[in-house]
Amino acid sequence: MSDDRKVNKNSKNEQLNMYRVDDKDKKMTTNQGLKVSEDAFSLKAGERGPTLMEDFHFREKMTHFDHERIPERVVHARGYAAHGEFELYESMKKYTKAKFLQEPGSKTPVFVRFSTVAGSRGSGELARDVRGFATKFYTEEGNYDLVGNNMPVFFIQDAIKFPDLVHAVKPEPHNEIPQAATAHDTFWDFVANNQESAHMIMWAMSDRAIPRSFRMMEGFGVHTFRFVNEEGQAYFVKFHWKPTLGAHSVVWDEAQKINGKNPDFHRADLYESIDNGDFPEYELGVQIIDEADEFKFDFDILDPTKIWPEEEVPVKIIGKMTLNRNVDNVFAETEQVAFHPGSVVPGIDFSNDPLLQGRLFSYTDTQLFRLGGPNFHELPINRPVCPFHNNQRDGYGRQTINKGQVSYHNNSLAANTPETAKEDEGGYVHYQEKMEGRKVRARSNSFKDHFSQAVMFWNSMSDVEKEHIKDAFSFELGMVQSKSIQQQIVDMFANVDLELAKTIAGNIGVTEPQSGGSSITKSSPALSQENMTKKPNTRKVAVLIGDGFEEKEVKSVLDVLKSGGVQPEIISEKLGRLEGTDGLQLEVDHTFLTGESVLFDAVYAVGGANINDKFCEDAQYFINEAFAHFKPIGASQSGDKWVKNIIDKPGVITSNNTKSFASTFVEAIASHRYWSRQVS
């Protein structure tokens, strides 16, 4: 290498070194060099008051975070959506003046986007993760966005920590590994050092983090909001979406295999269900607390790491949402839709939940960057169905062509139009909550209980669900490289349950804690998925069948399955048509290569007179895997031989041991899983 090239190379290295920063043993500052005295609390008007706009440190930190990715969302990048309508069952006039919640039977168009949180847009959909559940109501008073998740709590209590959480959960920056996974050091280091996350971690390690489909998971508004009625009376409210099919999950081994077999599993399920006319349905429920009762509970109702147990604050079902139309263009609709918890209508207002307060800033800031400017509301998917008028002009993506010379308020040239609307004309007026307190960076002492509801969640789980949580912790922490972090987490969750912590410690090879546990016996049966609605509707059944099947019985069984709402799909060696003993023909939907057991909810093994050894081998593997995942299995004709070793196990139904084979099999499918196989 010549001396000139050496000089140029060294100069380049020196330039690069100028941007390499080692933060070790340094004091935190703003980007302007101002030393930061507190980084865990946003600036509020009193310990339980709203976040203040003057909090320049929060705004700088959140603005930087919101602009860290282009062009996809930083979080919730992997999403899919559908159109539908919301129909009101019962008037909420007593509690809120929101017009779309007044007249029973009234219908409001909606657009719903489901998503995973941590992964990039190209990641698999069966990662262990929180799922986004965001709903845009196109009301006559403007758009109302209920931006929630499939879990009712969150990892942190204050929005100023949100960038830290996401930095920790994302792939580690030095090697960009792992994608869409929490099983790594930085995430669990965050958990160990931010123990307010304990309750959320219990949810994330549960089966809720690997739902069977978007159609079979609950949705929650997470935060405490307010209803405000015509008289100006306010109520605290939380929102729930309850799927009519119940909330159900896959098992972890199954989830990992689905990600390999079909990483689009959830979006395909949603698309195909709507395309087939099996429209997903969710009932909207609300929990309501009188303002006078704000402090009557053993938890702070504004704390986003806490639920309001349904046994203490019942969920009132007030309407149903039906998703009945797929998007026409994923980019124009699913990717360009812009949700914002600050998009409200008269009658719906905010609480001082410090996580919600920060989101009210963050979402607008994110959309400005991600969608190119301030006119993202003009994109067709974001436009309200009611007219909108104001003095905003210009900017990237402007589509409205405003007439006239005036673009400011308080004017005489245009008779002061558009003019503001009074409250009785539908003008939005913020609830006039009385505020007292000093400007502080602090958190109310009532937010400091991090473990009682984590214990309640654990107490509420069935034995099977508890085993799954133990396995999830053991897998996740087994992928962590730091023994110190592993030990910290084990010691942390000894506060939830000592035996849980000891089991995890034994599985990952760290010291078992000798003390811990909790005296709390409180539980909430509503938290266990084992207590959810179980139906056979839209469950997919793989029918393993070959040429020469005895068609009378097969046709009868398939008819009963279909009449029960079950969706049978034919699987054989090759695509094409199969022929029965009397000439009945069945079209093959999948081969053994394209139709794996993990993609189905149950198996019906039939076989046929003309099947070969390869068919038998593939069918046996298919059934064994389905059995290992606790799924219902039905067998008749030559299919009986593939279940001879499991014939007496729960959920294995054969035509030889029941006169009503088909109906019994449908009942088995409705049961979803047969967990007793774990111990049988």
* Domain shared by 109 and 81, yes or no: yes
| Tens-place pLDDT, residues 359-385 | 999 998 999 889 988 888 889 999 999
Read off the pLDDT band of 657 (50, 70, 90): low
In a domain, 173, yes or no: yes
Do residue 219 and residue 294 come from a single domain? yes
Active site residue 240: no
Structure tokens at 107: 């219908």
pLDDT, tens digit, 9 for 90 and up, residues 562-574: 999 999 999 999 9
pLDDT band at 5 (very low <50, low <70, confident <90, very high): very low
Residue 524 lies in a domain: yes
Q: Which domain holds residue 466?
A: 452-530
Residue 6 lies in a domain: no
The confidence score (pLDDT) of residue 57 equals: 86
pLDDT at 677: 87
CATH classification at residue 554: 3.40.50.880
Q: Which of 593, 586, 560, 564 is nearest to 660 (CA)?
A: 560
Residue 418 binned pLDDT confidence (cut-offs 50, 70, 90): confident
- Computed over every residue of the chain, the mean pLDDT equals 93
The total number of structural domains in the chain stands at: 3
Query: Do 540 and 504 share a domain, yes or no?
Result: no
- Residues 624, 629, 632, 638: what is their CA dihedral angle, to the nearest 10 degrees? -10
Does one domain contain both 646 and 526? no
CATH number of the domain that residue 497 is part of: 1.20.1370.20
Q: Summarize pLDDT for 615-635 with one digit per residue, the tens.
A: 999 999 999 999 999 999 999
Q: Is residue 287 part of a domain?
A: yes
Q: pLDDT value at position 2? A: 46
Residue 26 confidence (pLDDT):
80
- Mark whether 543 and 524 lie in a shared domain: no
Higher pLDDT, 13 or 463: 463
From 57, 76, 223, 240, active-site residue: 76
Q: Are residues 522 and 557 in the same domain?
A: no
The answer to whether position 113 is within a domain reads yes
Q: Domain for residue 37, yes or no?
A: no
The pLDDT value recorded for residue 203 is: 98
Cβ-defined contacts of 263-267 (< 8 Å, 24+): 263/123, 263/124, 263/125, 263/126, 264/125, 265/125, 265/126, 265/599, 266/80, 266/114, 266/125, 266/126, 266/211, 266/213, 266/214, 267/80, 267/125
Q: Is residue 644, in this structure, part of any structural domain at all? A: yes
Q: What's the confidence (pLDDT) of residue 35?
A: 80
Same domain, 562 and 493: no
From the candidates 57, 83, 143, 149, give the one annotated as an active-site residue.
Answer: 149
Is residue 393, in this structure, part of any structural domain at all? no
Same domain, 464 and 539: no
pLDDT at residue 56, as a whole number: 82
Last residue of a domain, one of 349, 378, 407: 378
Over residues 481-496, the pLDDT tens digits come to: 999 999 999 999 999 9
62 vs 67, residue with greater confidence: 62
Q: Would you state the pLDDT for residue 178?
A: 97
296 in the same domain as 190: yes
Are 513 and 545 part of one and the same domain? no
367: CB partners within 8 A, 6+ apart: 338, 340, 376
**For the chain, first and last CA: distance in Å?**
72
Residue 231: pLDDT band by 50, 70, 90 thresholds? very high
The pLDDT score that the predictor gives to residue 11 is: 56
Q: What is the pLDDT of residues 265-289, one digit of tens each?
A: 999 999 999 999 999 999 999 999 9
Q: Are 516 and 560 contained in the same domain?
A: no
Looking at the fold, whether 486 and 597 belong to one and the same domain comes out as: no
Domain boundary among 378, 412, 429: 378
Last residue in a domain, options 530, 552, 587: 530
445 counts as catalytic? no
